[in-house]
Amino acid sequence: MTNTPPAVRPARPYFSSGPCAKPPGWSPEQIDTRILGRSHRSALGKERLKRCIDLMRECLALPDTHRIGIVPASDTGAFEMAMWSMLGARPVTTLAWESFGEGWVTDTVKQLRLDPTVIRADYGQLPDLSQVDWSNDVLFTWNGTTSGVRVPGGDWIAADREGLSFADATSAVFAYAIPWDKVDVATFSWQKALGGEGAHGVLILGPRAVERLENFTPDRPLPKIFRLTKSGKLIEGIFTGETINTPSMLAVEDVIAALEWAKSVGGLKGMMARTEANAAALDRIVEGRNWLGHLAQDPASRSKTSVCLTVDGADNDLIKRFAKLLDKEGAAYDIAGYRDAPPGLRIWCGATVDTADIEALGPWLDWAWEQMQ
Ligand SMILES: Cc1ncc(COP(=O)(O)O)c(C=O)c1O
C-alpha cells in the first residue's frame, strides 16, 4: 500500500454529471456581453436567442421537420410543459429504470392522474422495450443519468406509432445519434453535454406533437409558463427566440460559446467521437481493476455519458469518503453516484471532458481505493 498520491492530476478534474465540465479552453472572456443589461426582446436580444436556436439545430443535426425552442425551467420545465400540455389524449405508458424516469411516472400518476401503464427495471437494467404498445403516448429517458443505462437507439420505437414518443434526452443529446423521425417530443438542458449553465431548457417538437397541441385541449389548468398554444395555434415565436418569460442572457451567451466550440470540434460527429473516446478510456480503467465494475449490465445499453460504476463491497459511507478524498486532492470532483442510486461512482464522459483527464483518473482511483482499505 502506498500513501503517495499519483504524480499527475487530471488537468481539469471536472467529472460531474450535471452541471458538467465547461468546454476545454473555456473562459469568461469568450462570452459576448453586448446583450447584458439589455432587453431580451430588443432586436439584439432576439438575434442572440435565434443564434442560439440555430446553433443548437446545427449541432444536433435536427431536421427541418422538428421545431426547437427555449422554454422555462431547464430540462424539468421543458418535459413537464410537454406532459401537461399534451398528455390525456390517449393512454400513456411510462418507462422507468432510474430516478428521473421514476419522477415522470410519479407526475403522470399523482399529479396528472392518468393511470399509465408503467414498465420498470432495476438500476443497471433496461426494461423489455418490445413490450411497449405504441398506440399509447410513451414517456422515457433516453439516457438514465443516475443508473448509466440508456436506450440502445431508436429501433424499438414504432415508425407507424399512433401515440407520441416523449424523450427526456438531457444527458443523451450531443452524445448519441438521435433518430429524430422516431422522436415526437425531446427535451434537454444546457448544463450537460454542452457544459453550459443551468437556466432555461430546450423543447423539441416533431410535426405530430404540433398536431396534438393544435387539436387537443387538456382538461386541466395550465400555468403561463407551460402554454404552447394560443387560440388553438402553436405559438411559433417560442421557436424563433420569443421566449415565454425572461431567460438569463448570460446563460444564453455562455451556451452560444459552447456551441461554437462544439462546431470547432466537428459538430455532432466530433462531439460523439470525443464522448466515445472518453467512455472507452474509462472502460479500459474498469477492465483493469477487479474491484470496479459497470452498474449497467448490458454493454449495448450502457451509457457513454453518465457512466455508473460499482465498487466492490462499497456502501454509501465508503463512496462518500472515496469521493471526498479525491475532491480534497483536486483529482476528481463530484464522482459519487446519485443519492437514490446503489452506492457507486459516476463519471461523466461527455464531449467537454478530455480523454487524457479520464486516463489520468485511473491511478487516482487506485490510490483512493488503497486509502479506503
Ligand atoms: C435524465 C434527467 N432528467 C431530468 C433532469 C433534471 O434536469 P434539470 O435540472 O435540467 O431540470 C436530469 C438532471 O440531471 C436528468 O439527468
pLDDT in tens, 309-337: 999 999 999 999 999 999 999 999 999 99
**Segment 141-176, tens digit of pLDDT:** 999 999 999 999 999 999 999 999 999 999 999 999
Judge residue 156's burial from the number of C-beta atoms within 10 Å of its C-beta, 0-12 exposed, 13-18 middle, 19 or more buried: middle
Quick check: CB of 189 below 6 Å from ligand 1? Answer: yes
The whole-angstrom separation of Cα 23 and Cα 27 is 9
The pLDDT confidence band at residue 3, using thresholds 50, 70 and 90, is: confident
pLDDT digits (tens, 9 = 90+) for 121-148: 999 999 999 999 999 999 999 999 999 9
**Does 246 score more than 80 pLDDT?**
yes
Ligand 1 center to 75 CA (angstroms) = 6
Mean pLDDT along residues 258-279: 98
- Residue whose CB lies within 8 A of the most ligand 1 atoms, among 171, 202, 248, for a mutation test: 171
Is 171's C-beta closer than 6 angstroms to any atom of ligand 1? yes
The torsion angles phi and psi of 107, rounded to 5 degrees, stand at -70, -35
* Ligand 1 atom closest to 142 (CA): 1
pLDDT confidence bin for 187, thresholds 50/70/90: very high
311, amino acid identity:
V
The pLDDT of residue 183 = 99
Instruction: State mean pLDDT over 340-362.
Output: 98
Ligand 1 atom with least separation from CA of 306: 16
CA atoms of 206 and 148, how far apart (whole Å): 27
Could you tell me if the CB of 101 is within 6 A of ligand 1?
no
Average pLDDT of the residues in 16-44? 98
Q: Residue 141 has which C-alpha cell?
A: 429517458
Which pLDDT score is estimated for 264? 98
Tell me what the pLDDT averaged over the chain comes to. 98
Q: Is 107 in the pocket of ligand 1 (CB under 6 A)?
A: no
Q: Which residue in this structure is represented by grid cell 443548437?
A: 56
Convert the pLDDT of each residue in 201-231 to its tens digit: 999 999 999 999 999 999 999 999 999 999 9
The contacts of residue 50 (CB under 8 Å, 6+ apart) are 240, 241
Q: What pLDDT, on the 0 to 100 scale, is given for residue 2?
A: 64
Give nearest CA residue, ligand 1 atom 16.
Answer: 145
Nearest atom of ligand 1 to the alpha carbon of 201 = 10
Report the percent of the chain where pLDDT is more than 70.
99
For 313, the grid coordinates are 463491497
Confidence band, pLDDT 50/70/90 cuts, at residue 178: very high
Strand spans (E) along the chain: 67-71, 92-96, 117-120, 137-141, 143-144, 149-150, 165-168, 185-189, 201-205, 229-230, 233-234, 292-294, 306-311, 345-348
Average pLDDT over residues 75-80: 98
Mutate to test the pocket of ligand 1, among 74, 100, 102, 139 (most ligand atoms within 8 A of CB): 100
Query: Which band of pLDDT confidence, cut at 50, 70 and 90, is reported for residue 1?
Result: low
pLDDT over 70 (residue 109): yes
pLDDT tens digits, one per residue of 118-127: 999 999 999 9
CA dist 324 and 329 (Å) reads: 9
The three cell numbers locating residue 330: 483536486
Residue 197, pLDDT above cutoff 80: yes
**56 with 49: CB under 8 angstroms?**
no
**Residue 332: all three cell numbers together:** 476528481
CA of 41 to the centre of ligand 1 (A): 28
Tell me the CA–centroid distance for residue 190 and ligand 1, in Å: 10
